[in-house]
Structure 1
């Protein structure tokens, strides 16, 4: 059964107090205090839902009591309805300035009293509900802003990683993100160009590096003790102080750190691809340079051979002509022999002259190699 709301009635007039209690007892639990001082003492040990406060009392007035209530953090939002035989504009203004919620004219009419009490309590309930909803909305907004900031840090890492030209630079960017979240981390990056392991202080110790290497084969996300590891083929991040005391942030951190590790892994893969391409380009350049030098040498040798062959035939013709003078040959025989020798020389030289197409191809190939 739901407890009745508690009403504190502060009234020095016994008749008025009895009348109010009779009007309220069916729906409320009424606590009576005969003076303002007595009411303040009672409030030290109890918190009613509403205070009915007589304005004119010996000692502290109702206005003074209301001010004391408003100055007390525990009761600062406690609803107060003033009771007074005078409810003019001045009295209402004084009650408002003292912190009251409503005014009720004495002598009290039971029905009006019940209606005012019910209305003020309903308003305070609605205010409490709105306050709770506002607090929830504010907390949700803060969570959303925190989540956006955390995801934004990962996105900034991805942008920054495009400018990283080695594993060390990627590791520094990873640690920049984790330190921004207040996390104590180590990171290892592995690829075709070796491995790098770092923490916030610098290179990891051999033991720490061995743990990173071991966790690389244990799964994408692994909790062990107070630590959590996030691993991909080319990257492992170990966090030593995950915020497990805050389940919401812990969940967000796990998601974002997994994205961070995946992004680092992708950049390592990209760097390795760039490295392979540069190696292939270097090998191709060496091949082109070597081929160009070889073809230059072949071209020089062919020119030298052509010149040497031409000299040999020229010397042969001169030697043959001298020899024919001492051989006692008839003129017709000398002419026939000279023609045979000349024909053989021309045929041999024509082989070199017919090779002009090959020379053009060789020249074009050398031109292209020089441009490459």
Structure 2
């Protein structure tokens, strides 16, 4: 029920005004200007029915003082006067009044004017609340856009990071910018590492990360939340339980953040495996290359020695046959047999030459493969090195609002 303060030095007038308003409002009354100020120290009426002619201070001065002290921010003033000329009305307006009514008062007019001012106050209160809600909505939208902008920049920047340490640093920069205190456990190639935004992780935090890893995607306990993915578990130690809107935004952003980190860790793991396999393959190729080169050299040396030995044997046989004293036809048959055998042996040596050539081709292909694998290793190493010089955007101040 709206509160009305009647100000008049005539007790009969005060009683009459109280009767007119008592059915619909809570009514108090005072008889002087100073009494008004005392009343306002303890109460804040919705409407003041203020007489112009008071014994101590006139109504205009009372209204001006209340206005200057900020007492009329939520209170309306209706001047009551037997003088209804234009000058009096203008003076009432200048002193800060909301309405003017002439004596003697008509009950219906008085109730109607009070009702209008009371409804106006309620309307203004609703508008003020709506404006406050709208401002809060705008602030929430701006905050959400800023947070989302940071996350999107982090996702984009993460593609330039090629090591777990770099990814963790960038992740903590983002989470710190969001006001979150966090620790993380990563698992890459079955090796677990532990990280904290404070630098060193506490033993109990490490134990929690391990124990809660199999508790599902989200595990909430009091103001803490752990998020688990295949390559990472993240424990947030200060979830904003006292701010439901921000709590909801953080819970919406965490899957995007941790999911991105998990994806990058998966790619880092695959990259490490490729690098390891490439290095192992290069080593295996080098061993095979050395072995085949040794076999090729040995084959070439043996072939050369066998050819020389055959030619020497033919020369020695020809001398030896001449000393045997064989008949001419016998000598021809023996020499023909020896020549045929030498020809067969040389044919086999020619086949060895073909094998030698094949080995040389294999060695050439192996050398090309080793060079290609070396370039793969070099490129991966170069990417990892160049990423160390990339600027981190997750903690930049010029966040673009979407």
Normalized against structure 2, the TM-score is what? 0.79
Going from structure 1 to structure 2, the CA distance change for 1:24 and 1:208 (only over 3 Å counts) comes to closer
Going from structure 1 to structure 2, the CA distance change for 1:152 and 1:87 (only over 3 Å counts) comes to farther
Distance 1:87 1:348 in 2: 144
Distance 2:64 2:247 in 1: 45
Distance 1:325 1:241 in 2: 109
2:67 aligned with 1:48: no
**Which sits farther off after the overlay, 154-163 or 37-46?**
154-163
2:214 aligned with 1:230: no
Q: CA deviation at 1:350?
A: 1.9
Going from structure 1 to structure 2, the CA distance change for 1:195 and 1:98 (only over 3 Å counts) comes to farther
Preserved CA contact (<8 Å) 1:69 1:76: no
Name the residue aligned to 1:82.
79
Preserved CA contact (<8 Å) 2:223 2:240: no
SS in 2 for 1:164: coil
Preserved CA contact (<8 Å) 1:168 1:196: no
Name the residue aligned to 1:199.
196
Q: CA deviation at 1:144?
A: 2.9
Name the residue aligned to 1:313.
310
| Deviations 1:222-269, CA, capped at 9 Å, x for gaps | 344554333333322233333222333333334433543343333322
SS in 2 for 1:190: strand
Going from structure 1 to structure 2, the CA distance change for 1:197 and 1:96 (only over 3 Å counts) comes to farther
Aligned length: 368
- Runs of 4+ in structure 1 deviating by more than 6 angstroms, as ranges, are none
Name the residue aligned to 1:274.
271
Going from structure 1 to structure 2, the CA distance change for 1:96 and 1:315 (only over 3 Å counts) comes to farther
Distance 2:203 2:4 in 1: 71
Q: CA deviation at 1:280?
A: 1.7
Q: CA deviation at 1:341?
A: 2.0
Q: CA deviation at 1:133?
A: 1.2
Name the residue aligned to 1:292.
289
| 1:1-372 superposed matches below 5 A | 3=1, 5-12=2-9, 17=14, 20-21=17-18, 23-73=20-70, 75-84=72-81, 85-86=83-84, 88=86, 94-192=91-189, 194-224=191-221, 227-354=224-351, 358-359=355-356, 361-372=358-369
SS in 1 for 2:185: strand
Q: CA deviation at 1:315?
A: 0.5
Going from structure 1 to structure 2, the CA distance change for 1:87 and 1:290 (only over 3 Å counts) comes to farther
RMSD: 3.0
**Which sits farther off after the overlay, 62-71 or 276-285?**
62-71
Preserved CA contact (<8 Å) 1:162 1:267: yes
Distance 2:180 2:272 in 1: 32
Q: Larger relative contact order (C-alpha < 8 A, sep ≥ 6)?
A: 2
Preserved CA contact (<8 Å) 2:300 2:356: no
**Which sits farther off after the overlay, 289-298 or 348-357?**
348-357
Normalized against structure 1, the TM-score is what? 0.85
Which segments of 5 or more consecutive residues in structure 1 lack a partner in the other structure?
none
SS in 2 for 1:48: coil
Distance 1:247 1:306 in 2: 87
Q: CA deviation at 1:187?
A: 1.8
**Which sits farther off after the overlay, 124-133 or 142-151?**
142-151
Distance 1:160 1:74 in 2: 56
Q: CA deviation at 1:40?
A: 1.9
Q: CA deviation at 1:319?
A: 0.7
Distance 2:98 2:176 in 1: 51
| Deviations 1:75-116, CA, capped at 9 Å, x for gaps | 52211223342453x655544443322333455444443333
Which segments of 5 or more consecutive residues in structure 2 lack a partner in the other structure?
370-402
